[in-house]
Amino acid sequence: MKAFQRGLLVAAIAALVSVVVRVRSKGPVPPTSGGGWRELQGPDFR
């Protein structure tokens, strides 16, 4: 019974930590590709 309670406590702490990490996350990882966006202009429409 004691082991079960301890397991529950560990699971609860893990869930809490994952929520905190997710909320405090700084957002997406940087891009893994080089390059950029170029607006399509007149020649692209010919």
Partner 1 sequence: MSTVLVVGLGEVGVRTARQLIDTPGIDRVIVASRRLDHAREVASALHDGAEPLQLGRDDPLPPGIDAIASALPSEVDPGLARRAVAAGVPYASSADRDATLGALLALDADARARGTRVVAGCGLAPGLADVLARHAVGALDSVDELHVARWGVAGPESAAEARRALREPAHEWRDGELVHEKHRHAELIWYPDPVGARECELVATGVELLVAANPGAGRITSRLGLPPNRRLVPPARRDPSAQWGAVRVEAWGWRGTTRTSVVYGVIERAGVAAGTVLGVTGAWLAGALPNVASAPEPGAVGLGAVVEPVAFLAELARRGVKAAAFEGVAIA
- Under DSSP, is residue 27 helix (H, G, I), strand (E, B) or coil? coil
Type and span of the H or E element at 12: helix 2-24
Distance in Å, CB of 13 to partner 1, minimum = 25
Distance in Å, CB of 18 to partner 1, minimum = 16
Tokens, residue 41: 């202009």
Q: Return the number of the residue (1 or 21) whose C-beta is nearest partner 1.
A: 21
Q: Which residues bind partner 1 (CB under 8 A)?
A: 27-29, 31-40, 44-46
Distance in Å, CB of 29 to partner 1, minimum = 7
d(CA 13, CA 6): 11
